[in-house]
Amino acid sequence: MAHFLPVCAAWLREKRIAFIITENRRNGKMIVYGSHYGTAKWYAEKLGEKLGEEVVSVESFRGAKEPVVFVSGLYAGGFKGAKTFQKRIDGTKFTLVSCGLADPKEEKTRREIERNARAAFKDWDGPLFCVRGAIDYRRLSVLHRVMMWMMKTMIVKKGLEAENEAFLATYGSRISFCSEDQLDPIVAYRQKNERF
């Protein structure tokens, strides 16, 4: 018993210190990512390095007091982790970064991402940035393979439109459009704007 009490006290002290550290970190600015295959995570980590901010997955995100950047992979127009993020962000301002295969330099693609973002994040009034991701069909889950196959069948049936050309050209392959320089405008924006 004589040994047990000091051990318990030390354990509690350690836990309390860990709790305080975690809470303090949560009070700082941070980058949150929602990613299936690691592309959005890669961008989030690079952004974290450039801005000196903590990087957390949406699954371990518990809320923030300072404006957050949410980097999220696009899946059939939806944002990976959007529901969980929405629940935990609780009114805090955030910058959204979409990470998809389609080229956001195409006006139609960008407009569609923006429309989907407004629908997914109801009270969001922050800026949107779009970076280009990567895909490796060999790594896809069965569900995602089927989704991609259905998308291809639909495109082929409907007739080829310009914005689907890249999709068909990359179908079944392994390709990356990732590059660090796509983060430059986000870094500049984050450094200039206190609100986001």
Ligand X SMILES: Cc1cc2nc3c(=O)[nH]c(=O)nc-3n(C[C@H](O)[C@H](O)[C@H](O)COP(=O)(O)O)c2cc1C
Binding region for ligand X (CB under 6 A): 35-41, 73-77, 80, 99-102, 133-135, 140, 144, 147-148
CA–CA distances in Å: residue 103 to residues 14, 100, 145, 164, 194? 48, 8, 21, 10, 29
Q: How far is the CB of 133 from ligand X (least distance, A)?
A: 2
Decide if 32 contacts 58 (C-beta within 8 A). yes
Q: Which of 28/172 has CB closer to ligand X?
A: 172
Q: Which amino acid is at 190?
A: R
Decide if 72 contacts 81 (C-beta within 8 A). yes
Q: Which of 175/187 has CB closer to ligand X?
A: 175
Q: How far is the CB of 53 from ligand X (least distance, A)?
A: 18
Q: How far is the CB of 95 from ligand X (least distance, A)?
A: 17
d(CA 86, CA 79): 11
Q: Which of 30/131 has CB closer to ligand X?
A: 131
Q: Which of 51/74 has CB closer to ligand X?
A: 74
Q: How far is the CB of 144 from ligand X (least distance, A)?
A: 4
Q: How far is the CB of 78 from ligand X (least distance, A)?
A: 8
**Backbone CA torsion sign across 38, 78, 165, 181:** negative
The b-or-e profile of 141-157 (16+ CB within 10 A means b, else e) is eeebeeebeeeeeebee
Q: Which of 86/170 has CB closer to ligand X?
A: 170
d(CA 118, CA 125): 9
